[in-house]
Chain A
Amino acid sequence: MTAPAVARAAGRDVRRPAARRRIDRWGALVEVYFRAHAALTYAFLFLPILVVVVLAFNATTRATTNWEGFSLRWFGIALGDEVVQSALSNSFWIAVPNAFLATAFGTMAALGLQRVGKRIRLGFDVLTYMSIIVPEIVIALATLILFATTFDAIESWTGIKLKFGRETIIAAHVLFNTSLVLLLVRARLSGMDRTLVDASADLFATPWRTFRQITFPQLLPAIVAGFLLSFTFSFDDFVITTFVSGPGSSTLPLFIFGQVKRGVTPETNAVATMMLAFTLAMLLVGQLVLAWQARRSGRRSAASMAQIVTEG
């Protein structure tokens, strides 16, 4: 463990003496191992994506994975396909609100659970785990029945006809994702240092200010992780979405799973490739903007996305 240790809590850079490093014979090996392990894992994660991207350029006219030459035809088809565009837009406009809601609800609940007795916490825990345990097909069907029955009742009472659509999908997705965020934030909270909170209170900070300046920054990595996972799981959900969707709210996974009967064409790969390119481009732009800002403000070390994401 010879890498420069950053004692962030103390806010200073602690570098280990070089002499120590030489004594630590296994140190270098461990460093190599960690780097290699990370590199291999990323390769593992991106290998299938590479295949997806390559096949997007397949010149085939059919749903096949046989390479039949290079072509951009599937990008043209994807760009001109209204069904795909509507599906993509639905996916996005379901995943984003879902991620915001789930992140807010989950974080709030995690903070609230610290202020209650053991019994309430246990009850909440059971519900949290249950929401993850219930298999998708089961919760999907039961939620569909619940919505349909409730909507009927509302209609007979008030005459207002509620419909299935993006809203019902978001509501159903938020359940699982709230639990996800809740568990992540609680994992982060557990064993967190209270000293700073106490110090802040001693310095006459209001609870809100303490939260904003002390607690929130400490929780941020978990909140960001929760947001990202919530977005991801909603964006790619199939079973629940299938059941609680309504006219015009089909998402991308529904389109792709639906294609299965006749074979998934490279059009899907083209869509995925464009999304990937867009995401990576945004990431790059973000990095460049931050670097540029850092240079402009004359700071010595460029602030990177890393700090924004992990430290706020």
Chain B
Amino acid sequence: MATPTVPAPPRAGTRFRNGLLTTALLLPAGLWYLVLLVAPLVIIVVFSFGTRAKNGGYAPDFVLDNYIRAFQRADPFVTSLQMAVFGTIGCLLVGLPLAYFLATRAGRHKGVLILLLVIPFWTSFLIRTYAWLLILGPDSGVAGVLQSLTGAEKIQILGTPVAVMIGLIYGYLPLMVFPLYVTLERMDRSLLEASKDLGAGRWGTFRQVTLPIALPGLVTGSILVFIPMMGEYVIPQILGYGRTYLMGNALMTDFLEARNWPSGSARAVFLIVIMVVTIAGYVWFLNRGRRTREVSVL
């Protein structure tokens, strides 16, 4: 109502009101981060220097042993890293074409198709994962088809990292598809036309038009998929028959089976630091040379 006819340089009052709005917008999330993220993280860091209390849990102390043990027991981290990298690539290979299809070709069924993407996930994770035991099991159709294709006598999928990988891709696919979809959906099709008119081939158009537009979604999607895969523990237990031991399993062992909170905390801090550095590096690498594309739309 009070918008001036001619856009003038913001006056002090406007600036104040703008500042107030910004604060109000950031306040709830900021508060949540402060209370339910920063405070718990402080607790974990404090724990990581403590010792295990006699009956399990935490006893105040200041020792570095937990970190030394965390470094000595880094094998699960390496295994998790491998699984998460391949899992993320897998999600991308499955998710990108699907997101592209949803964004550009789903037409008026788009909404339904998107809902259908999450509806399977409203069925308990545990029983869905159990269902895979039947699908991939020794008497199942999948194993049968593979056996007749390869001529092998018996193909064991369950209990191998392959089964874990299938479970990971299945479990985290929507976290890849959704960010890709929301960026691709915005894509202006006339850009593709223009690209074509300028003589670019299919691959060229994809590389120079589609990919840059999808990039923010791709970054978000791979981060959203990669991180929880590192901490996953149920899928390796069920589909990996407990023979693939990931970081999530290691933390469960420390925190629950051994009830050694300091040891588990040190491992967690170790994981968090490495991940933050990795992700910051990843985001920086992908954004290098690009102008920041974010503009205020308020």
Contacts and interface: CB of A to CB of B under 8 A. Distances in A.
Q: Check whether chain A touches chain B (CB < 8 angstroms).
A: yes
B70 to A, nearest CB: 13
Given A109-B28, A141-B261, A304-B111, A30 B37 contact: no
A264 B130 contact: yes
A16 B197 CA distance: 12
B67 interface: no
B44 A51 contact: no
B293 A41 contact: no
A145 interface: yes
A196 B112 CA distance: 28
B131 A222 contact: no
B185 A310 contact: yes
A264 B141 CA distance: 23
A245 to B, nearest CB: 16
A268 B110 contact: no
A310 B181 CA distance: 11
Interface centre among B21, B40, B178, B202 (most CB of A within 10 A): B40
Interface string B105-124: 11111111111111111111
A47 to B, nearest CB: 6
A113 interface: yes
B150 interface: no
A1 B83 CA distance: 34
B216 A191 contact: yes
> Is the contact region of chain B dominated by helix, strand, or loop, or is it mixed?
helix
Nearest to A9: B188
Interface string B96-110: 011011101111111
B253 to A, nearest CB: 10
B60 interface: no
B168 interface: no
A5 B195 CA distance: 14
A78 interface: no
Q: How large is the interface on A (under 10, 10 to 19, 20 to 34, 35 or more residues)?
A: 35 or more
Contacts of A307: 108, 111
Contacts of B104: 1, 3
Nearest to B112: A305
Contact of A194 (B33, B36, B133, B295): B295
A276 interface: yes
B43 A146 contact: yes
A158 interface: no
Contacts of A146: 35-36, 39-40, 43
Interface centre among B35, B131, B213 (most CB of A within 10 A): B131
Interface string B66-98: 000000000000000000000000000010011
B12 interface: no
A171 interface: yes
Contacts of B107: 306
A132 B227 contact: yes
A257 B30 CA distance: 33
Contact of B98 (A7, A41, A141): A41
A172 B40 CA distance: 11
Q: How large is the interface on B (under 10, 10 to 19, 20 to 34, 35 or more residues)?
A: 35 or more
Interface in A10-52: 10, 14, 16, 26, 30-31, 33-35, 37-38, 41-42, 44-49, 51-52
A51 B185 CA distance: 33
A39 to B, nearest CB: 10
A143 interface: yes
A228 B115 CA distance: 8
A130 interface: yes
B108 A222 contact: no
A222 B298 contact: no
Nearest to A118: B292
A48 B251 contact: no
A72 interface: no
Contact of A192 (B3, B224, B276, B295): B295
Contacts of A231: 118
B41 interface: yes
B153 interface: no
Nearest to B98: A41
Interface in B214-248: 216-217, 219-220, 223-224, 227-228, 230-231, 233-234, 247-248
A243 B196 CA distance: 55
A85 B173 CA distance: 29
The 8 closest A-B pairs by CB, nearest first: A112-B25, A309-B111, A142-B40, A48-B131, A306-B111, A109-B29, A135-B231, A5-B189
Given A49-B128, A114-B298, A308-B111, 6 more contacts: A112-B22, A172-B36, A184-B178, A189-B294, A215-B297, A269-B127
13 contacts: A1-B104, A3-B104, A7-B190, A9-B188, A14-B190, A14-B193, A37-B98, A38-B101, A44-B170, A112-B25, A115-B298, A192-B297, A236-B124
